[in-house]
Structure 1
Amino acid sequence: MQIDLVGKRAVVTGSTQGIGYGIAKGLAEAGAAVVVNGRRQEDVDKAVARIKEKISAAEVRGVAADLGSVEGCAALFEAVPSADILVNNLGIFGLRDFFETPDEEWDRFLAINVLSGVRLSRAYVPGMVERGWGRVLFLSSESALNIPADMIHYGVTKTAYLALSRGLAKRLAGTAVTVNAILPGPTLSEGFRDMLREEQEKTGKSIEELGADFVMAQRPSSIIRRAATVEEVANLAVYVASPLSSATTGAALRVDGGVVDSLV
């Protein structure tokens, strides 16, 4: 089985680092022309350079735009008016007690984690339908099913992506455009590594060891008993973005290491 995305254009939101960067890199390795996105031009330029350094033949460009706003989504679509693959990866998270989370924070999380995907899907999907092929991916989380008590607002946005992806898949029934959600568990992204950095300095343990400790303490239902790598999450996304996944749509696909204790 070989994944070939030559001739396909992919837009990956929030892709200057972490899972988004890993997906952008994986799509480029499969031959797709990739558009990297982030808020700051400097970060976008660095991510593009990193991909080109690793994949000399990569066709990759960057667009700096704040997708947490109507204007930012419009700016991205104006710069890149057509895509075969849309990966709605952009998302923020942060610990905050429910009773101390004001409306402004709920609005910010909903705008970035949900409405960015709504707006960009509304912009790009009609073109996919017209051309007769497309892939839309929403990066949800195992937190969509295991709502964290210490960041309920985040969990709610990730559950919203499950509803959005399933509903949009049904709306596109009979077309060759598929829509799916991907649910990572704890993943060794830059943000996760930064969270563990202080503990690493104290204990001298590796990030991988600390990641495993975190998983067993906070997600004891994990079957792999460690944090996933960015590449492991990206591998699933690249497959789902490919022609090989043509019979997979409306699905919530877990790459959570078995954290969610469910038969389906």
Structure 2
Amino acid sequence: MNLDLQNKKVLITGSTAGIGKEIAREFVKEGAQVFINGRQENRVRKTLEELTKYGKVNGIVADLSTSEGIKEIVNKVNSFGPIDILINNSAICTSHNFFDINPNSLKETFELNVFSMFYLTQAILPSMMEANYGRIINISSEAAFKPYPKLLPYSMSKAAVVNFTKGIAELVSGYNITANSILPGPTLTTELDNYFVRKSVVESRKYEDIKSEVLKKNNPTSVIQRFVEMDEIAGIVLYLAL
């Protein structure tokens, strides 16, 4: 598939696993110059080894929940020239009883899920406006509009992502720049798939039965009645990057 993304510079945060890595894989296949990011050097190195067989990819180790991490990633990508496509995917999602949530856990969630997106966009958007070209794609979640009681900090942060994206879209009105957010439902990531496999072995039950049971329990109103596949999300991101 040729989507005319050759040599576009694409920064994807939180891209050493799950949805982020799948998005990175598809952009590399399309001939884009991709910058992946993660907090752990060994995971960044492993992902680079996996993706370089498809094309051009660079790795940046940076903790985007810190101002130092934001500066680190911006300085490194800018050394290659302006970024054409920014995909804010970094996020953490932890389950808590509402009454057990403490200020530190709430702060940690917003620092990575919201503040990193804000400051990274703030740093990269000026060059997009100067070039009169850019694509900003923020990965939110259905939790933005369908909050989960045990995931309230995450749900709140993803609602913030949607509103931030709308504001940026208004800000760049008149430029050849778009800003969109994607709100996936429950997604079959590698980590979740491994969990289902382990559970099926431990409980001597069928993998598909466990997967179906979890979906019905946690998302009984799902229209598609299945988990979203990571490549489906990656395909939507590619489309929005055109």
Structure 1 length-normalised TM: 0.86
Q: Does 1:93 pair with 2:93?
A: yes
Distance 2:75 2:209 in 1: 44
Distance 1:68 1:191 in 2: 22
The residue aligned with 1:221 is 221
Secondary structure in 2 matching 1:137:
strand
Q: Does 1:80 pair with 2:81?
A: no
Say whether the 8 Å CA contact 1:85–1:134 is kept in structure 2: yes
Residues 102, 197 of structure 1: alpha-carbon distance in 2 compared, 3 angstrom cutoff? farther
The residue aligned with 1:24 is 24
Q: 1:63 aligns with which of 60, 64, 69?
A: 60
Say whether the 8 Å CA contact 1:188–1:211 is kept in structure 2: no
Q: Which has the higher helix share?
A: 2
Secondary structure in 2 matching 1:80:
helix
Alpha-carbon deviation of 1:221? 1.3
For structure 2, which runs of at least 5 residues remain unmatched after alignment? none
Over residues 39-66 of structure 1, what are the superposed CA-to-partner deviations in whole Å (9 max), with x where a residue is unaligned?
011100111111123x2xx110100000
Distance 2:225 2:188 in 1: 13
The residue aligned with 2:133 is 133
Say whether the 8 Å CA contact 1:68–1:108 is kept in structure 2: yes
The residue aligned with 1:153 is 153
Over residues 65-94 of structure 1, what are the superposed CA-to-partner deviations in whole Å (9 max), with x where a residue is unaligned?
001111001100011112100000000101
Q: Which amino acid aligns with 1:72?
A: G
The residue aligned with 1:233 is 233
The residue aligned with 1:212 is 212
The residue aligned with 1:113 is 113
Structure 2 length-normalised TM: 0.94
Secondary structure in 2 matching 1:10:
strand
Aligned residues: 238
Distance 2:100 2:61 in 1: 32
For structure 1, which runs of at least 5 residues remain unmatched after alignment? 243-264
Distance 1:109 1:116 in 2: 10
Q: Which amino acid aligns with 2:30?
A: A
Residues 17, 225 of structure 1: alpha-carbon distance in 2 compared, 3 angstrom cutoff? same
Say whether the 8 Å CA contact 1:213–1:226 is kept in structure 2: no
Say whether the 8 Å CA contact 1:87–1:138 is kept in structure 2: yes
Q: How does 1:46-61 map to 2 (within 5 A)?
A: 46-53=46-53, 55=54, 58-61=55-58
Secondary structure in 2 matching 1:151:
helix
Alpha-carbon deviation of 1:2? 4.3
Over residues 111-164 of structure 1, what are the superposed CA-to-partner deviations in whole Å (9 max), with x where a residue is unaligned?
010001001100111111111110001100001110001111110000000000
Alpha-carbon deviation of 1:99? 1.2
